[in-house]
């Protein structure tokens, strides 16, 4: 079952955010990903502030009143560079899409993604952006299977 955000699930949401960061730490071959002591509270506050300020939504996937997945989306704010370099169409941005590790591959992520896409369409967004950590090949494959294409790439070099 997918529901809109309810604050009674805040602690479970924070747990999922920590689970995602642990996953990113595990797959980071450069070992740059970290989780500082205040990560759990701070990432939650940052995401919630963006949702409030940028016309965002949070959807939760529940099973027996347990949050097993979530998606957080906002409407992107255009900066001065955007205004002189692109058409500035209203664009949704998915900040987080998380499904509990032990139940991935059961269509929960796809359902959450589709729910957020419906919201973005309902407010006249013309596209959706999702930033994917380079080593997250599983995540990238998931988005490609759901008709997302690579539009921007950041290349890095350790020095």
The pLDDT tens digits of the residues spanning 4-30 come to 999 999 999 999 999 999 999 999 999
pTM value is 0.94
pLDDT tier, 81 (very low <50, low <70, confident <90, very high otherwise)? confident
DSSP letter string, 30-93: T------TTHHHHHHHHHHHHHHHTT-EEEEEEETTEEEEEEEEEEPPP-HHHHHHS----EEE
Q: Which residues of 56-74 are buried (b: 16+ CB within 10 A; e: fewer)?
A: bbbbbbbeeeebbbbbbbb
Q: Could you tell me which of 108, 80, 78, 115 has the C-alpha nearest to residue 94? A: 115
> Per-residue pLDDT averaged across 116-133, rounded?
97
> Per-residue pLDDT averaged across 59-81, rounded?
94
Is residue 14 situated within a structural domain?
yes
Is residue 151 situated within a structural domain?
no
% of the chain exceeding 70 in pLDDT: 100
- The pLDDT value given to residue 79: 79
- The pLDDT value given to residue 50: 98
Q: Are 69 and 101 in contact (CB under 8 A)?
A: no
- The pLDDT value given to residue 127: 95
Q: Which H or E element spans position 96? A: strand 91-99
Average confidence score pLDDT of the chain: 95
Is residue 159 situated within a structural domain?
no
Q: Are 135 and 29 in contact (CB under 8 A)?
A: yes
Give the CATH number of the domain where residue 122 resides: 3.40.630.30
Q: Is the pLDDT of residue 82 over 80?
A: no
Contacts of 50 (CB under 8 A, 6+ apart): 56, 74, 95
pLDDT tier, 109 (very low <50, low <70, confident <90, very high otherwise)? very high
Taking each helix axis as running N to C, give the angle between helix 39-53 and helix 10-27, from 0 to 180 degrees, rounded to the nearest 10.
Answer: 110
> Per-residue pLDDT averaged across 53-63, rounded?
98
Domain of residue 66: give its range: 2-145
Q: Is the pLDDT of residue 86 over 80?
A: no
Is residue 157 situated within a structural domain?
no
Domain count, the chain: 1
Is residue 20 situated within a structural domain?
yes
- The pLDDT value given to residue 100: 96
């Amino acid at each position: 079952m997918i529901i809109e955000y309810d604050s009674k699930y805040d602690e479970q949401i924070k747990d999922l955010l920590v689970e995602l960061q642990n996953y990113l730490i595990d797959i980071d071959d450069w070992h740059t990903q970290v989780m500082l002591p205040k990560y759990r509270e701070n990432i939650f506050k940052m995401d919630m502030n963006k949702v409030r300020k940028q016309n965002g939504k949070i959807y939760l996937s529940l099973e027996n009143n347990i949050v097993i997945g979530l998606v957080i989306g906002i409407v992107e704010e255009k900066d001065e560079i955007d205004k002189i370099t692109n058409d500035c169409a209203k664009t949704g941005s998915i900040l987080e899409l998380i499904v509990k590790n032990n139940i991935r591959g059961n269509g929960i992520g796809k359902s959450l993604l589709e729910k957020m896409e419906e919201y973005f369409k309902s407010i006249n967004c013309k596209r959706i952006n999702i930033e994917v950590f380079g080593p997250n090949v599983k995540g990238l494959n998931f988005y490609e299977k759901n008709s997302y294409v690579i539009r921007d790439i950041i290349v890095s070099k350790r020095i």
